[in-house]
Homo-oligomer: A and B are copies of this chain.
């Protein structure tokens, strides 16, 4: 039985016909090396932007079903060209759109989620062909309508296909791998050769931004070994895998920075009300994701602090106005000059004193924090945005990132 792998190439990796041909040569070598491949591709370069420009000339508010049908042609363009290129080189390859690959989705157009994938069909196709070139980002729903998966959709397609057929997934992009922190902030940052799903999730969610959270979550849930590397580069990338499979567990793997947050503090003097319940109902109603939640009750007074994305600012203001109307005696403050710095590492579970070391290094350098939250494998600090880069550098040095 041949080794099957899923490979994914992003839009800039397939941005020109030349690049598609170069990738085809690379794929042919792997097939000659007795591999079977599912290759997931995005739309070429700026294709999606060009399609959206067509729409802008018609309306600001397009029908989302039709928008999905439109955007899906970007990937269909890439799969057919890549399959033409591979067949021209004598590789037995076949292209598959989302419908053809059996990627069934549910949920709303433009942000659908994958329900299931027909693994039997794909395995049959892999008997007949050496490479299946699958359109990323797209699927279909129960009405045979074309759907798209939203942000990070092609990565999600790739990981879901890998999960369906039980193969590892290699994601090729412009970066060489996952770094312990953003090298633009801390130049000495080293690339990680391995990182656990959990650590990657914290790093993604905390703004490291190489892979979308949902794609790492699927990999974690189905135990798909995930590789992140640079397209057609000899430089080794990063493997993302189960914690138990890591060869070496670091105490602190990375330091993440999220600059686009708001820090909100609410104080309510009448604890007898259903104030907190109403707050969470409202946040849910507007789909505002909150993070770093702390609640402190002191006598009849209650304080709630949380952070949320800066992009939700308008929703947040509506929620606060609404709460103000319903409840008396509420005070609130919203900090916009705020950032979140997090230290992440699976090893924290077993090693004490990480929090103390981090506290000490921040305090001794005059960096105050408004809030601290901890998870099993991370500690996050809400601090002044002005000081956030300095904090990242200090923490990276302290923990040898």
- A42 within 8 Å of B by Cβ? no
- A204 within 8 Å of B by Cβ? no
User: Would you list which residues of chain A between 21 and 35 have a CB under 8 Å from chain B?
Assistant: 21
A88 to B85, CA, bound (A): 39
CB distance from A152 to the nearest CB of B (A): 23
The segment from A2-10, A93-101, A347-355, A380-388 that touches chain B is A93-101
The segment from A56-64, A160-168, A182-190, A233-241 that touches chain B is A56-64
A100 — which chain B residues lie within 8 A by C-beta? 144-145
- Interface digits, A85-116 against B, CB 8 Å rule (1 contact, 0 not)? 10110000011010110000000000000000
CB distance from A19 to the nearest CB of B (A): 11
- A391 within 8 Å of B by Cβ? no
- A303 within 8 Å of B by Cβ? no
A17-B57, A58-B17, A77-B73 known; A84 and B66 CB under 8 Å? Answer: yes
A63 — which chain B residues lie within 8 A by C-beta? 83-84, 87-88
- A81 within 8 Å of B by Cβ? yes
Contacting A55 at CB < 8 Å: which of B55, B70, B84, B97?
B84
- A223 within 8 Å of B by Cβ? no
- A346 within 8 Å of B by Cβ? no
Q: Is the CB of B84 within 8 A of A76?
A: no
Chain B's closest residue to A65 (CB) is B94
Chain B's closest residue to A20 (CB) is B58
Q: Is the CB of B72 within 8 A of A85?
A: no
Chain B's closest residue to A144 (CB) is B100
User: Would you list which residues of chain A between 122 and 174 have a CB under 8 Å from chain B?
Assistant: 144-146
A17-B57, A17-B58, A99-B99 known; A67 and B85 CB under 8 Å? Answer: no
CB distance from A331 to the nearest CB of B (A): 45
Contacting A59 at CB < 8 Å: which of B70, B88, B99, B146?
B88
Contacting A67 at CB < 8 Å: which of B57, B72, B80, B146?
B80
- A242 within 8 Å of B by Cβ? no
What is the size category of the interface that chain A forms with chain B? 35 or more
A22 to B303, CA, bound (A): 59
A263 to B95, CA, bound (A): 45
- A328 within 8 Å of B by Cβ? no
A99 to B76, CA, bound (A): 14
A94 — which chain B residues lie within 8 A by C-beta? 65-66
A285 to B184, CA, bound (A): 68
- A54 within 8 Å of B by Cβ? yes
Q: Is the CB of B88 within 8 A of A69?
A: no
- A339 within 8 Å of B by Cβ? no
Contacting A81 at CB < 8 Å: which of B55, B79, B83, B95?
B55
Q: Is the CB of A66 within 8 A of B54?
A: no
A145 — which chain B residues lie within 8 A by C-beta? 100
A62 — which chain B residues lie within 8 A by C-beta? 84, 87-88
A249 to B19, CA, bound (A): 62
Beyond A54-B81, A59-B84, A100-B145, 20 extra complex contacts between A and B, CB < 8 Å = A18-B57, A21-B58, A51-B77, A54-B77, A55-B81, A58-B84, A58-B88, A59-B85, A63-B88, A66-B95, A69-B80, A70-B76, A70-B77, A70-B84, A72-B76, A73-B76, A76-B76, A97-B146, A99-B144, A100-B144
Interchain residue pairs with CB less than 8 A apart (30): A17-B57, A21-B58, A54-B77, A55-B81, A55-B84, A58-B84, A58-B88, A61-B88, A62-B87, A62-B88, A63-B84, A66-B80, A66-B84, A66-B87, A66-B94, A66-B95, A69-B76, A69-B80, A69-B83, A69-B97, A70-B77, A70-B80, A70-B84, A72-B76, A73-B76, A73-B77, A76-B76, A97-B146, A99-B99, A100-B144
